[in-house]
Structure 1
């Protein structure tokens, strides 16, 4: 028969903790049931406020996008020229300077598009301080606003998408197109400043070599005119053959005069004639050696070695200087061409058009986020408040010395039969 005292066998020692946790959960559930109407009302009020803000306070923004691509050729003609003649310029002590400038690129196109120089150009061109109603003494606010309105997206295929957000769709379209134009102008200025030291050096070197070439040309021309020397090796062979033939003729004529003198005597008319011929040949040989007569008049046989050495020295300097000038002249002309040439760093593939619909804010997302966020926040606050109220109540009970383990818990007794803990009811 059931007695007035029920015994409940508890097999686990921490059952009281579970019961206590269930009580706390039930208390929170009770609070949720009591406050759901107010939570829903507060969420609807917050949603209505967000809807009013989204529709009547925030101006909708439009987005205009332009697609740009880099040039098909990675290097400019000046870079190609430097690459082709870098080996030759090493001999002229230019290779290190040219090679460094032609091979290194220190920035990307996306970094150029997101630079402050582009932002400053847009601010000045469209008077964005007035358009955004920002004080001119707060450039930090202006840069932050422009950074939020410009979106640069480099693609894996190599294209770059430039998106501009603005409340005016026509202004957004113009700014998206002008960003590429401004970036190209800044790139040209950077290239000009980077190549300016090389340009100045090449220009100075070109002028110096040009003057030296003119001087060597005048000296070589004057030397050739004074010495009649233009091909020392060929001229030496011709002069040597002429002198050799003259010496042979003189030797033969001397032998003939000697034989006739012994046979006919010195006063014989024939001997006198042969002596006159000998005298004429000897005089011709002396003049030929002096360079006064012959096939190459003006070339002196006795000074030919020295003149040939001087001629070869002048000619060698002239030819070497001419080769250096032949390298520098196209470089100089190409640099002048590059300074006046419009080299874009980006080309517009798809031009921006006036957007027909707004891009942001997403009003539906704002309204839904306001409702869900307010709803969850309210219940989170309720749970925290309930937890601290329960904790404070237990703490006060602990301080006064009566700490209930759980509302359903009773004093425990030891069961004599099973040894389990019993709860008396």
Structure 2
């Protein structure tokens, strides 16, 4: 019964003060309607995009030098990187400059807190975060729907530009490293070439395999002719039937081949012919330098090819994000929700009015003057 009596007392108090409650709610209703009508309409434009895989800028993938399967979309780390870029001050400051947000938001750009205020104002109207589908959802609110769409697309393009710049910055450093390496190896190759030419000129060795084969052939032919001439001379020299001219001719051939063998075996100080002794002396040195020169040319050629591949990738416009939805001019406002503001205000006014009435009814029998007087010191 006590609980029922308590509820009855509550309803009785509300009924007694019903006109006051009604008047308060009506005042709040009219005031909230007027206040909500004074609020500006804001329109939200949204663009959605996924991160592109940084591997798309890999020269091996561009030129097909790898069997790795191409991943067109980035990983969670790439998504986090784009999220950080989208919320960076660089993007915000770019938007402030591009769209003149100091004037648009009526903020004094010359004040000490001007930059802080314009950033905070923009951040309240700007949101870039991962959605439930693991994409970046970038939204901007503005009183001008067309400008909201332009700002959202511009912010997305700036995020793409910064992400590309980070990748191209790494490629640029790699290109600088290759340029230094190519320059150094070119100088080394020139030194090796000069040293090789000096040795080739000193030993008359310009083609190791061909000259070696040629010397071997000449020496073998000379030895063979010497043996043959000696054998013919031994058989024919004591034969009275053989003319002396023939014998002299054979002797002359023998001397010629012996001299040829001697010139092949020992270098002629006054001649420039290549001897086997000279060839054997210079062969190790020329072979080593020839091999070093070949390896240096091969490595330099590889570095130049690699440099050209990286430079081609650097000059290629490879997007850092994959756009799913471009921001379009919003047709409906995103806020304020005037009906919600009015209803919430009236409900709050009713609840606080009832609470105030119940408190007043509960303590109306108290003699506050006597209570205050009793608390005062004698």
Please report the TM-score for the alignment, with normalisation by the length of structure 2.
0.77
Counterpart Cα distance in 2 of 1:338 and 1:392: 88
SS at match of 2:17: helix
Counterpart Cα distance in 1 of 2:186 and 2:79: 35
Deviation at 1:228, TM superposition (A): 4.5
Per the alignment, residue 144 of structure 2 pairs with 168
Per the alignment, residue 253 of structure 1 pairs with 229
What 5-or-longer segments of structure 1 have no aligned partner?
Answer: 1-17, 86-103, 400-425
Counterpart Cα distance in 1 of 2:7 and 2:332: 49
Deviation at 1:204, TM superposition (A): 0.7
Aligned CA-pair RMSD: 3.7
Counterpart Cα distance in 2 of 1:299 and 1:381: 121
- Do the aligned partners of residues 269 and 119 (structure 1) sit closer, same or farther apart at CA in structure 2, a change above 3 Å counting? closer
Deviation track 1:91-148 (CA, whole Å, cap 9, x = no partner) reads: xxxxxxxxxxxxx859532332222211101111121111111233333332222112
Counterpart Cα distance in 2 of 1:392 and 1:84: 95
SS at match of 1:75: helix
SS at match of 1:151: strand
Counterpart Cα distance in 1 of 2:263 and 2:87: 85
Per the alignment, residue 98 of structure 2 pairs with 125
Does the Cα contact within 8 Å between 1:188 and 1:344 map onto a contact in 2?
Answer: yes
Per the alignment, residue 19 of structure 2 pairs with 37
Per the alignment, residue 412 of structure 1 pairs with none
Per the alignment, residue 189 of structure 2 pairs with 213
Match of residue 142, structure 1, among 108, 118, 121:
118
Match of residue 300, structure 2, among 325, 329, 333:
325
Per the alignment, residue 180 of structure 1 pairs with 156
SS at match of 1:368: helix
Match of residue 112, structure 1, among 59, 81, 85:
85
What 5-or-longer segments of structure 2 have no aligned partner?
Answer: 67-76
Counterpart Cα distance in 1 of 2:234 and 2:163: 94
Counterpart Cα distance in 1 of 2:24 and 2:62: 73
Per the alignment, residue 407 of structure 1 pairs with none
Match of residue 262, structure 2, among 286, 293, 305:
286
SS at match of 2:127: strand
SS at match of 1:65: strand
2:54 is aligned with 1:64 = no
SS at match of 1:64: strand
Per the alignment, residue 76 of structure 1 pairs with 57
Counterparts of 1:203-242 in structure 2, within 5 Å, are 203-221=179-197, 223-224=199-200, 227-242=203-218
Match of residue 329, structure 2, among 348, 354, 358:
354
Out of 249-258 and 164-173, give the one that drifted further: 249-258
Does the Cα contact within 8 Å between 1:28 and 1:386 map onto a contact in 2?
Answer: no
Please report the TM-score for the alignment, with normalisation by the length of structure 1.
0.69
Does the Cα contact within 8 Å between 1:64 and 1:176 map onto a contact in 2?
Answer: yes
Deviation track 1:256-314 (CA, whole Å, cap 9, x = no partner) reads: 556667778xxx7776554443322211211233477xxxx843201223322222212
- Do the aligned partners of residues 106 and 359 (structure 1) sit closer, same or farther apart at CA in structure 2, a change above 3 Å counting? closer
Per the alignment, residue 350 of structure 2 pairs with 375
Counterpart Cα distance in 1 of 2:350 and 2:273: 115
Counterpart Cα distance in 1 of 2:280 and 2:359: 112
Per the alignment, residue 343 of structure 1 pairs with 318
Counterpart Cα distance in 2 of 1:362 and 1:120: 30
Match of residue 152, structure 1, among 128, 132, 142:
128
- Do the aligned partners of residues 324 and 61 (structure 1) sit closer, same or farther apart at CA in structure 2, a change above 3 Å counting? same
Does the Cα contact within 8 Å between 1:50 and 1:370 map onto a contact in 2?
Answer: yes
Deviation at 1:72, TM superposition (A): 7.9
SS at match of 1:162: strand
- Do the aligned partners of residues 40 and 194 (structure 1) sit closer, same or farther apart at CA in structure 2, a change above 3 Å counting? farther
Counterparts of 1:263-302 in structure 2, within 5 Å, are 274-290=250-266, 298-302=273-277
Counterpart Cα distance in 1 of 2:23 and 2:154: 49
SS at match of 1:303: helix
- Do the aligned partners of residues 248 and 331 (structure 1) sit closer, same or farther apart at CA in structure 2, a change above 3 Å counting? closer
